Structure 1
């Protein structure tokens, strides 16, 4: 499969004002030597060649750098906000905005030093930048299973483009105790592309299937009343934790979310478009 290293042209998606704003933000962060990575639709297009029109830009940063970035961008006259303290800040100029992402909505995957490895370099809006690596792109997308948004197709395209080049030992380590989610996507890949199944390393599937067999023989009594569905969707399993008596998997030590973070993240559901 060919490798894709060319950034799609944003100019076709954006108006001149938004493009100038995005370019200026990228230049400001580069000039300040603050590490960041371009993710979202841009990184996905570079990794897979699948281009989707986009009206915003996702930049991945370390949480420790968030306040410094906000201060620098505010000095340029732009408005910043921190709508979700556990994972997301934003910078605005008029209607245009950029997401500054330092984790994931489920609290599982903070942006850490490991994110800044194996990053490909591209030129975006005339600015040299680095993109989120393939493994972290896959990891973060794997847990997005909302009713109105499911990123499984992106996972399948990442595997189709790069199955042989992925750092599989590192990916297994990154999924950690949530390896079942990875196994589900790998199984679906074989369904979606039956002629490509052999491209997933046999040892990876064997390891995951063995884990599945072992777990099936030894149910985890400690987690009998836990719903980890909230790690996949903030909305679809609220009934379980609010009405059925299940404990919220986000608050069981798996990630960084607090009860306050969950409340803020849940309250935002009502204000966002629904399918």
Structure 2
């Protein structure tokens, strides 16, 4: 519905008072989402209380898609678009994609939208994330599994995966408390906490990934600039051919590891 200028001004004032840096822009999005004055008031209050804007709206923009985001689910970051772009560049004809630690399923959905008909699987340990991801990958016929990393996946995928995207948690445990309240208080700790140095889950994924990748298939993991050298070492130790992709614009670092083909081995 259309709201009055006074309602618009009130929303901006409330958001600005709550510390929202982009109060005007956020108010416009909330006004567009609200269907009644009462709903507008409720949405502004939720945002002013510290709830991430994407969880207030119920969606996040990611790689040209509108991704459904439920309360308590990790919000996809724009920097993760680098991971999607690198995957598409590395294996442009991929036919089997896995989105591990999928959260909302944004990465898998973006890959499926770009690749066209593809067999898509996603997995997360959080049932709330799994429910949300199912909504987001339904258009591609994607299947979403609940469980801890590779334990969640069907055994028949071993040795067949062309793109294994794993947006693993990589915040060191002692730094989780330093995150902005939007993440610290409203996103699952399991989606943020990567252990003592932030690389615990990355190492687990990297160690097992070669068993699941097809010849020439690749694993892609986002990490921080500080952690990138150690992440690259973990990829090499697992037998993958690693390279580091960096976007200064997105402030993003993605390690890409390709499964080397054995002599005479061809893609599946």
TM-score of the two chains, using structure 1 as the length reference: 0.28
Structure with a larger share of its residues in strand: 2
Structure with a larger share of its residues in helix: 1
RCO (CA 8 Å, sep 6+): is it higher in 1 or 2?
Answer: 1
TM-score of the two chains, using structure 2 as the length reference: 0.29
